[in-house]
Amino acid sequence: MKKTEEEEGSSRQGITRRGFFQLMGAGAVASTAIGGAEAASTAEVLGPAELVKVKLMINGLQHRLLVEPRWSLLFVLREKLGLTGTKVGCERGECGACTVLINGQPRYACMTLTVEAEGNEITTLEGLMKGEELGMVQQAFLEQDAFQCGYCTPGQIMAVEGLLRQNPNPSLEEIRRGVSGNLCRCGAYPHIFKAVRRAADLRRAKGGGS
């Protein structure tokens, strides 16, 4: 194929216009790769976070701990204190499996930093029991068969406990709202609603205690 005048002129100078752009493109890629490698080699390596002292009041007992500021309450409850009734679910505040009570209010432990919880009263599933005796919400869930796989059940129980502490006689709509932040993948909601009503009856019969 006959060359254009521009290509002939470039060839006489030792490189074509097309070749020039190809060469420059390859050079840019190589430069980027080298620059990226240099940046990676000089990136700061982060060491472990400095530990801080916290005092946590959990189920009526005070715990003194050294924690990293980034540790969630969920992590500390399970891995440092052995309170495994609080379950690991989504770990991003969507499923409610890790629900605990903080000052009587349901909170996601996965979305709560341990340092945030200091100075507050924390209640976990274990804190609802008296020795081997089930709490009233736990007893109601058992009686009404309000679970299937059971994984979400601890969080459901804690959400219901928080609801009944604020509203001893909730309507069905209030019950729905009260457990709306806790997902049951098995779909046991009708039994859960019955368990809430049963727990409310048990609390009233025993004077409103847990």
pLDDT in tens, 20-43: 445 555 554 444 444 555 544 555
Give the domain-ending residue among 98, 127, 156: 127
Give the domain-ending residue among 99, 127, 155: 127
pLDDT in tens, 56-74: 999 999 999 999 999 999 9
Please indicate, yes or no, if residue 62 is contained in any of the structural domains.
Answer: yes
Q: Are 162 and 132 in contact (CB under 8 A)?
A: no
Token pair of 31 as six digits: 């430069």
Neighbours of 57 (CB within 10 A): 15
* Containing structural domain, residue 60: 52-127
Same domain for 197 and 135, yes or no, is: yes
Same domain for 110 and 169, yes or no, is: no
CA dihedral 93, 101, 88, 128 (to 10 degrees): -150
In this structure, what CATH number is given to the domain that contains residue 201? 1.10.150.120
Whether the model pTM is above 0.85: no
pLDDT in tens, 79-123: 999 999 999 999 999 999 999 999 999 999 999 999 999 999 999
In this structure, what CATH number is given to the domain that contains residue 107? 3.10.20.30
d(CA 87, CA 109) in angstroms, rounded, equals 9
**Greater confidence, 99 or 3?**
99
Which among 141, 169, 166 is positioned nearest to 155, based on CA atoms?
Answer: 141
Same domain for 105 and 147, yes or no, is: no
Q: How many domains in the chain?
A: 2
Same domain for 112 and 156, yes or no, is: no
Same domain for 134 and 147, yes or no, is: yes
d(CA 210, CA 97) in angstroms, rounded, equals 20
Same domain for 79 and 141, yes or no, is: no
Please indicate, yes or no, if residue 144 is contained in any of the structural domains.
Answer: yes
Identify the pLDDT of residue 206: 86
Please indicate, yes or no, if residue 19 is contained in any of the structural domains.
Answer: no
Helical packing angle, 136-143 and 189-205, nearest 10°: 130
> b or e along 174-206 (b: 16 or more beta carbons within 10 Å of the residue's beta carbon)?
ebeebbebbbbeeebbebbbbbbebbbebbeee
Please indicate, yes or no, if residue 30 is contained in any of the structural domains.
Answer: no
